[in-house]
Structure formats: C-alpha cells, structure tokens
Structure 1
Amino acid sequence: MLEGVNVALGVTGSIAAVKTVELAHELRRHGAQVRGVMTGSARGIIHPWAVEFATENDVVTEITGRVEHVDLCGYDGWADVFLIAPATANTVGKIAGAVDDTPVTTCATTALGADTPVVIAPAMHEPMYDHPGVLEAIDTVSEWGVDFVDPRLEEGKAKIASEDAIVRDVARAVGDRPLEGEHVVVTSGATAESIDPVRVLTNRSSGKMGRAVAAACYIRGADVTLVHGVVGPQPIDRDMVLPESDADGNVPYATVRNVESAAEMLEATRDACADADTLVSVAAIGDYTVEPSDEKIRSGQELSLELESTPKLIDDIRDARPELPIVGFKTETSDDETAMVERARSTLERAGLAFVVANDASVMGADRTKALLVHEEDAARYEGTKAGLSEEIADSIAAILGETRPS
C-alpha cells in the first residue's frame, strides 16, 4: 500500500505518543520508509531512542543550521508526505496560524508551502476537540488541503485513530486518487433470513473481502457507501458494530448501511445506487427466504421449511440503472477453473457486468484468497491477500470509469 513512500512522522505532546512505535512499525509493514520529528513535549512522553528504533532512522528533535525542515519537507525534500500523529490542539492551532516554534510546526509550514501532502491525526480530550477555536483551526487547515484522520470519540476523549485508519489516509493522501469524485457502492457480508425469533438461514461470509474493496476504493479517492450484511450470529438489534466504526456506525473509509435480510440489502443497495458511479456486489446474498414464525419453533418436532427464491440483486440494479458499471462476485465449490470461468462469464453476459470475480468457497473467513478476474475476453488468476485482490479490483474499476468519463 505504501511501497516506496517516504513518511516524515511528526510526534507531539499527547499521551497518544506512546503509540508512535506501533504506528511507525505499521507504516513500515506496508512498505514505507519513516523518519521521526518530535516536539519537546513529545520527548517528555516517549524517548527519541524509541522512535529511532522504530524507524531505523535518526530523529529530528530540533531545527539547526542543517535546515532539517527543508531537507524533509521542502521543495525536492525527502518526504512524500508529512504525517502528524498524534497532533495536539496546540499544534493544530499553531499550524493554522503559521506559528513555527517546534520542529513539527516548522516542518508543517514548510510542507504546506512546498505542496507536500500533510495528514493530521488529532488526539486530545473531547472538550478541547469541541472548542470553537480548535474546530475553526481544523476547518482552516482542511481548506488548505490537509487531510484529517478523525479521532475516536470515547470516554470523553478524542482518541487517536487506529493505525489502520491512519495508514489508509496516508495512502490516500500520497496516491493519485483515480476515483476522486466517484461514488462507489459496495455490498459486503452475509444476509440472514429469519425462521423464527431465534433461528436464521445464513452463510459463512465474513465480510472481509467487501470491506477490503471499500477501503481500496476509498484510498483511490472514492466516496464509498458500504451496504453491510450480518456476519455470524446476531441479536435482533440491528446496530451491528464493524471494526473501526464510530458512534453512527460508519467506518473511516465508508458510510455504512447495516442490513440483515436479502430484501433489506436489495432495498438499501437500490437506494444507494441512485447516484452511484459503480456497484461492487461482493456480499453473499441468500438465495432463499422463508415465511418466519412469530414465536420460537419448539425443538423435537418434525419440521419442513418452504423456501422461496430471493430476487437477484445485480439483475434488479441492472434494470434500474442500465448503464451503471457493476462488478459481480461468483462463489463456487469446485476447483475446476474452466467451469468457474464459464459460470462467471454466463453471469457477466446475463447482467451486462463489467467483470466478475470468481472464487472458491473455501476462502470464506480467511485473510488470503485465490480468485479469477473474469472479463468478457479473458480471465486473470490472482492468489494472495484479500487486501491485495481488493487493490486489483479498485484499479480495474478506476480504469473502467476512466474510459467512460468525457475527455
């Protein structure tokens, strides 16, 4: 995700600075080179040696005659992006006022003047985050093109965003954003059909692939709506919590619409696709539903369920939006690639899809996958992580939408 990217990591005097070592490791795990820049207050929380250890580079703790700020963030500087994580209210206010009295604020001013991308991950107590002056400073700096990674509002604190969220926003800031201005709708997870208030018909989908596709499209600049079905046993309460979700149920990379049944997923997707530029139908939508019992069915009795077919989501959306590019997923239980390609191509032709991702049911719930990307004329094999496959899918979507945009 960050292969070949140079990240200058600014650390300020929030207690969240204790997470700097883990964040530096995560950035490097995704391929980045990292160099640290620290304020005096940050050095009172975490020792520069720890940051040096985590980055395997010298740490800037003061600006000297070697003009470290220009070397890092100036014209033709080392950094591809300047990330401040954590950023205190004090630091954000100073950046908005072009006050340069710490190595971090001096690097920020230099980066902004040199058009080096800047990403800020605030961390402070919630009353400070709600201060009108702090909010005004955030708005001011945002208007200059700075990307903010929204904090997690918990326990009266605006806690620093997760490492995954910060890495994603760094990748988005430094990338080309070929999906900028595009609205991408992604369906994900499983659906469940109620048999009674206790039991459901469902499947083994984990939702990992759909969430990875949504994140990959976000990194490339898209506005993403994630229509997410249930994953695993669920209570009747529909307020499902996805990893990294906020109080409103949204995740940093998408607006989330939680659903349970196939009918609910169809309705939510149809609504989201009214102004969408593409749909990626990843969800494992149940093929059958049943008339549910209002009361729990007692065990020990013979029981037959009368199953009814559910509507095909991609067919419904195709009828409503004839020109919408749609990417389909086709799950099979056969290792016969020829048969998988034939079935995928049949679906592609029936619904007029952009392409189909054909995979084996054995990858459900796993972090790695193997799949075939089936287009009208050819098919490409992929084997690796779901995150890697999601990047291939997002790049293909960008290419398809690029062909349809007016020149």
Structure 2
Amino acid sequence: MAIDRRSFLAGIGAAAALALSGGSARAGSPAVYVACARAGDGSQRVCGFTGEGRLLFSTALPERGHDVAARPGSDELVVFARRPGDWMAVVERGSGRVTRVVLAAEGRHFYGHGAFSADGRVLWATESRIETGAGVLGAYDCAAGYARIGEVETGGIGPHDLAFLPGTDRLVVANGGIRTHPETGREILNPGALAPSLAVLRPESGEVEEVVELGPDLADLSIRHLAVAGDGATVFGCQYAGDPLAVVPLVGVRETSGRVRLLEMPEDDLISMENYVGSVALDPSGAILCATSPHGSVAAFFERASGRYLGRRRMSDVCGAAPGDVAGTFLVTSGNDGVAIARVPPGDLADLGAELAGMVWDNHALRL
C-alpha cells in the first residue's frame, strides 16, 4: 500500500503526543531498547523501553515496522518498514516523536534494514530495483533531511541486513537471494533460483571486495540477519526456502580472515528451529551468540570462537534479540509472550513484566 506523506505525518504527530515517556530514553536504566510491535488495539507502533521493563514511549506507525537504526552523535532513530516496504520514519529517541518520513525512490523498495556511517553523515538502506530485482544500497544524506543522494549495488539480490565492520568503512551485506515485489508482498518470485551471499563492500566507492556463497547444496539457504563482534567477526542467521523436510545449518560466522563456518547443533534441536532464524545477537562480551526462531519458539546459544553449542530455551514466538546488561545475557522479545532476559548457560528466562507483555513484539530489538 502506498503511503501518503502528509496523512502519515499528521497521524503520527497526533500519536506522538500520546507518547508514554516523561523524559529522555537515556535517563534511568543504563539499558534502553527500541523495537516495533503491535498494540492491543491493533495499531502498529515503535516503542522505547528499559531493560527493567518500563515503557518509555509508544508511537503509532501506519504499517508494520521491522528494524531500527540509531544515528551516531544524534538523538535520531530510523524505523524501517517491513519488506517490501516503501517508507522509513525518523524518530526522536527520547520522546518517540516522528520528525520526518522518507518514501522509497521511484522504482525501488526497502528491505527493512539500514546502517549509519560512523560519523552519522550517511544512512545506507537495503533496497531493490523493482524492475530487475538487483540489490542496491540507497544512500541518504542525514543533514539534508535524508535526501537520497545515490545508490551502489550489493553484489546480489534481496539484500536484507547490513552492518559496518568496526573501525572500517566496509559494509557486510546479507544478500538473501529472494526477489520480492511490492504488488505481491512477501511472495518469493524466484523459487528454486535463490542466490544468497555475504558481500563485503566499500559503499562510498561502490567497490564489492568479496562475495561469499554457501555452495550449491545450500543455494536455498537465504542469509538474512547479522551481528558483528568488536573484532569484525560476523554472525549470520539464515532461513531455508527449500524442501521443508530438509535439515540444514542455520547459523554461521564469517571470521575476520574471510573464512566462513557453519555452526553445528544436535539434530533434534536444529529440527526444532523449523529452518528459520529470525534474529541473531551477540552478548555484551561478544563471546556468546543467540539465534532465535519464532517458527520454532526457540532461542539457541553458541560460543562464538569455538562454535560450541550451549543449548536452547523455549519461548513462544521468540524473535527479537539484543545484548543484555552483562556478559552472557540477552534481551529477547516475543509475539505473544512478552519480553525477557535470557542468561547463558541457559537458565530460566526472567520476564520483564506486564507493561511490555501486552504488546505483540516484532522481529528485532535494538539496544541504544
């Protein structure tokens, strides 16, 4: 559905007046998170909340949101529409107020994720050229009201998540290999012909330095989401679009050397993830990773360096994951089971309370 900019801003402005925060999201608890959700009245929202379970703001969106990116050196957040979307919204992190809506360029649609340059000057958003399906990164000048100033190719189709490698101007992009179109929603338009890859590129020049594929046996394994450690190692989570009875690895790590390894887990545990990883995250130490499966209602944990499997915890429709306060902890969100803190080695999930439990939490959570 196309979104009218004026009506969107008018409606959002009214909703922002109902924001639940009494102050900045930086105040109070050291851990502050933002995520998209559906409220009890059916409205789609972006919410800020603390790691103690206190809701800071809840602002209405016109449609379902997906991921959120935080602009360095600024109070701005950008909320991305769920793929294949045609809008992104700029939000004040303290109040939740939407200050600007940016619509997709003619002939392009968004894929749900974006990443800011280290200086906060440019936002790079994963997009598709609708006519050809080619993946691109749209470049947006933040100081110029997020004016679109160009694009570069991603070396694949269906780019989804992306992240800068720490201390560099290089982006790693998860080319999911899935082609979609706004008129057909999330329908896969190239079944049996996926081409997933991890690409490393320099967005300012458009140079694609590296494209890593998983091989013909895993051609239907769509690479979707990323989490980058401080040393540059990149965790990736996948969704399998092939034979639903097949059992394939779903989590991998690209080492700083460029070597890619897929992580093993017991077959019964792997089957329980139903060939679908919704999010990946690293704990505050970067040593432990979490991969969630809303289809299987499972959060699985691994030691990043060794790849050792650390077990799983069940949580109905769990998907969002973000670092917790201390090593070995994660915040996890659910579509129908609230928000909790998971501790590794796996123990009981610590529920964050009723104020967050009434929301249907979406795919991702961002720690600010």
TM normalised by structure 2 equals 0.29
Q: Which has the higher helix share?
A: 1
Q: Which has the higher strand share?
A: 2
Tell me the TM-score normalised to structure 1 length: 0.27
